[in-house]
Amino acid sequence: MVAILRPLWAYRGFILGSVKREFQSKYRESLLGGAWMVINPLAMIVVYTVIFSQVMKARLPGVDSTFAYSIYLCAGVLTWGLFAEISGRAQNIFLENANLLKKLSFPRLCLPTVVVLNALLNFSIIFGLFTGFLVITGTFPGWVYLALAPLLLIQVAFAIGLGISLGVLNVFFRDVGQLFGVILQFWFWLTPIVYPATILPEFARPLMDYNPLASLMAAYQTILVNGQWPDWQSLWLVTLLAALFSAIGLRLFRKHAGEMVDEL
């Protein structure tokens, strides 16, 4: 681990500069600039709250709260967005930076690090607004909110491990990126994010045990909707896969780093 972190720390200026440039480039030509980082998620939260809580009167089974379903929805959609952004961008990171990899000498793991930091920056802004919504509506979960930290750590490790593994393969087999995009869409709808798992048929519920993100989303929803500590034991699969994919991704990267530059 130290061998990995040391070169990243040495190139921290390059990493932070890349994060800053990418963040600024998103809104460079827009009139409102970085304000869109606030407007877009705020609009989403308002739409979810007004449409589902006030217009459709959507309610969660067993939860007596006007905002329960909109919180449930945001808890899943926002955290899924973090996973999708990290894994989706990481799988293309080497292809997108082919010229940089060929012309400059720097630790290649700087690129996935930039992806993670950018995604976390975007997520922190969005989730910060969502947290403000929880406070204003009197639905803030209290101390159990701190349990989000280990969940995010597991999710980021799983996303970047999976993303790097696919990113290396995508250099040699370009269909990998296209296929994962399709899988990601199915994966979203096969995970209880916009619907509670209780509405699934009896035969389908046990299948959720094989979906690593189902338990992770359920943990987020337990904290933010019910204000309760998550079932830590239910996270063994996603934690195991996070460690496994991180190890596989690093191994593939180290083994094929030189070949990737030639292939690019």
Check whether 32 has a pLDDT greater than 60: no
So what's the pLDDT on residue 240? 96
Q: Model confidence over 150-180: pLDDT tens digits? A: 999 999 999 999 999 998 888 888 888 888 9
Q: Model confidence over 37-72: pLDDT tens digits? A: 667 767 777 777 667 665 555 566 666 677 788 888
Q: Model confidence over 97-143: pLDDT tens digits? A: 777 777 776 677 888 888 999 999 989 988 998 899 899 888 899 99
* Ordered alpha helix ranges (H), the chain: 2-10, 12-26, 36-47, 68-90, 93-96, 98-103, 110-136, 148-172, 175-189, 212-221, 236-263
Q: Model confidence over 213-226: pLDDT tens digits? A: 999 999 999 999 98
Q: What does the alpha-carbon distance between residue 158 and residue 165 come to, in Å, rounded to a whole number?
A: 11
Check whether 239 has a pLDDT greater than 90: yes
Q: What does the alpha-carbon distance between residue 118 and residue 125 come to, in Å, rounded to a whole number?
A: 11
Helix (H) or strand (E) segment spanning residue 68 = helix 68-90
Angstrom distances, CA of residue 204 to CA of 21, 62, 147, 182: 45, 21, 28, 21
So what's the pLDDT on residue 28? 65
- Binned at pLDDT 50, 70 and 90, residue 263 comes out as low
Q: How many folded domains does the chain comprise? A: 1
Q: What does the alpha-carbon distance between residue 94 and residue 108 come to, in Å, rounded to a whole number?
A: 9
**Torsion angle of C-alpha atoms 84, 118, 132, 29, degrees rounded to 10:** -110
Please, is 13 exposed, middle or buried when counting C-beta atoms within 10 Å of its C-beta (0-12, 13-18, 19+)? exposed
Check whether 16 has a pLDDT greater than 70: yes
Average pLDDT, rounded, for the chain: 83
Residue length of the chain: 264
Tell me the two tokens of residue 148: 């989000």
- State the residue range of the domain holding 180: 2-263
